[in-house]
Amino acid sequence: MKSWLPPYSVIRYEYGKVTVFGVAVPSEDAAAHENPRFDEAVKDIIKLVQPDIAHIHCIQSMGVGMVDICREAGVKTLVTLHDAWWILSEPVHA
């Protein structure tokens, strides 16, 4: 799917009383287990917001690095598992 946003640009919006950040990940990076460009966006967001907690879910295309980034920054992290592809040593495809 083609995005109207440049790759890895960040948008911020409100959903009710929750601030949400979105990062435009290009489709060619959608299967990435590690995504260094996404990691850099996460670092920028953490530096800007300085959150107490982060809720992470549906991490396909984002990579798993953001969990470590949050931990290293002292951000409490909640991960909702919808599946376990990112903790398996081999990719699983339906």
- One digit per residue, the tens of pLDDT, for the chain of length 94 reads 456 889 999 999 999 998 888 888 888 887 777 889 999 999 999 999 999 999 887 777 787 888 899 999 999 999 887 766 666 666 655 5
pLDDT of residue 27: 84
The distance between the two most distant Cα atoms of the chain, rounded to a whole number of Å, is 38
pLDDT of residue 86: 61
Angle at 51 (CA atoms; ends 25, 70), nearest 5 degrees: 60
Distance CA 43, CA 24 (A): 15
Which two tokens mark 12?
């911020």
Overall pTM surpassing 0.75 (yes/no): yes
Q: Return the bridge partners of 14, or none.
A: 19
pLDDT of residue 1: 47
